[in-house]
Amino acid sequence: MDKLMDNPWFIKMLALLLAVLLYTSVLNSDDKATSINIPGETSTATIEEVPVKAYYDIDNLVVTGIPETVEVTIKGPMPHVQSAKTLRNFEVFVDLTDAEIGNKKVKFEIRDLSDKVKATINPESVSVSIQEKVTKEFKVEAEFNTSMIEEGYAAGQATVEPNKVKITGAKNVVDQITYVKATIDNKDSINQTITQEAQVQVLDKELNKLAVLIEPETVKVTIPIKATNKTVPINVVEKGTTPDGIMIDSINLDIREAIITGTEEVLKETDNVRVEVDLSKITENTTLELPVIIPNGITKVNPQTVKATVTIKKQEEEKTVSGIPINIRGLDEPYDAVVNDPVNRTISLVINGPSGTVTGLSPEDFRIFIDLSGLAEGSHDVNIQVEGPPDVTWKPDKSSAKITISRDNV
């Protein structure tokens, strides 16, 4: 045995046998969760979302169609595969440095990857469009939803600052530009001028957003807001004629002004609104609720109705009633009285009152008298007194009578 241990070949064979046994033991062990990398063993790994870089004349060309990332599968010795997967110290790119304007299919390339590792790129190639880069200046149009304007107000011409932007992109894309807009989107209703920042949008004729560079990307949009209402007087317009004997003394409104809404042009031409009173239906003092009438073009009025108080007076007429006899009252017996003036013992009255009443009056409707109660014999001036209808006034042609009282000798 000692001789075998002294033999170098025996020692080598024993060491090899122990190594094989150890390797087999490790592979078959259920208690171990990891494996041992054996130099020269091949491994495969898939790396997702690997960035793609494009090389071309960025000052004069625009390239579209290149994806932002690709998937790379690598195969090779395990240490190299694990290192590349962990560090990602390689680059996937497309080389378009000598490409001409137009459409072409190009293959993805990879570099800075160990030559011991092989790589497969998915997709292997891509169709790209190479176009001339152009820059043009476009006017920006402001856009907003008119429904956000509060009722009674209107928007004027919106302004944009700056009102032009520079747009850079592929020539065929820039040629598709139809609209360059800055849109204001305000959730709250507005009733005064506003200025807001707005993103510039570049659209084709079908309102598709175009992939271009915009300078500046935002602009200031100002929307001037003006009131579209106006305060005007409410005029009273009389229609028809009053019944006989009725005259209008006054018509008073509880509200004398109204707020009207309409376009700026219509408001300039409108100085008032009106209510109409039908006089033919007025026979007494009354209060009417009347609609406020607006001219064409006015869309709203406040208030819509008002109350009109109508006060009437009956039509006056003057008439003279003559030959009304003077009666004597209060003369004690045995006295007698003689009316010396007026000699015919009658007077005339000038009557004023409603025409329908005055017309039919006659002497019989009045009682003219003098009161001689308590007077002694002799001559006296006595006030003439008149009694008549309650709804008229009168004025006698004489206010007093001259009389003589004497004792009756019979």
**Least trusted range by pLDDT, from 27-31, 206-210, 237-241, 367-371:** 27-31
Q: Please, is 403 exposed, middle or buried when counting C-beta atoms within 10 Å of its C-beta (0-12, 13-18, 19+)? A: buried
Does the pLDDT at position 29 exceed 60? no
Can you give the pLDDT at residue 40? 58
Alpha helices in 336-409 (DSSP H): 355-358
pLDDT tier for residue 31 given thresholds of 50, 70 and 90: very low
pLDDT tens for each residue of 346-375: 999 999 988 778 888 999 999 999 999 988
Query: What is the second-level CATH architecture of the domain 229-314?
Result: Beta Complex (2.170)
Residues in the chain: 410
pLDDT tens for each residue of 240-256: 988 877 888 899 999 99
* CATH tag, 42-130: 2.170.120.30
Q: Determine how β-strand 164-170 pairs with β-strand 159-161.
A: unpaired
Can you give the pLDDT at residue 26? 45
Can you give the pLDDT at residue 34? 39
Task: Give the closest residue to 51 by CA, choosing from 73, 74, 67.
Answer: 67
Can you give the pLDDT at residue 12? 60
Share of the chain above pLDDT 90, in %: 60
Task: Give the closest residue to 341 by CA, choosing from 382, 376, 373.
Answer: 382
- Of the chain, the end-to-end C-alpha distance in Å amounts to 208
Phi and psi at residue 90, in whole multiples of 5°? -135, 170
pLDDT tier for residue 205 given thresholds of 50, 70 and 90: very high
Does the pLDDT at position 155 exceed 90? no
Can you give the pLDDT at residue 225? 87
The CATH number corresponding to 317-407 among 3.40.50.970, 1.10.580.10, 2.170.120.30, 1.10.10.60 equals: 2.170.120.30
Can you give the pLDDT at residue 21? 58
The model carries a pTM of 0.49
Does the pLDDT at position 387 exceed 80? yes
Does the pLDDT at position 32 exceed 80? no
Task: Give the closest residue to 107 by CA, choosing from 95, 90, 89, 119.
Answer: 95
Can you give the pLDDT at residue 36? 46
The CATH number corresponding to 140-227 among 3.30.465.10, 2.170.120.40, 2.40.50.140, 2.40.37.10 equals: 2.170.120.40
Does the pLDDT at position 208 exceed 90? yes
Can you give the pLDDT at residue 188? 81
315 neighbors 245 (Cβ within 8 angstroms): yes
pLDDT tens for each residue of 37-68: 455 578 999 999 999 999 999 889 999 899 99
Name the DSSP class of 363: G
pLDDT tens for each residue of 300-359: 899 999 999 999 887 778 899 999 999 999 988 888 999 999 989 999 999 998 877 888
pLDDT tens for each residue of 117-153: 999 999 999 999 999 999 999 999 999 888 888 877 8
Can you give the pLDDT at residue 20? 52
Can you give the pLDDT at residue 317? 83
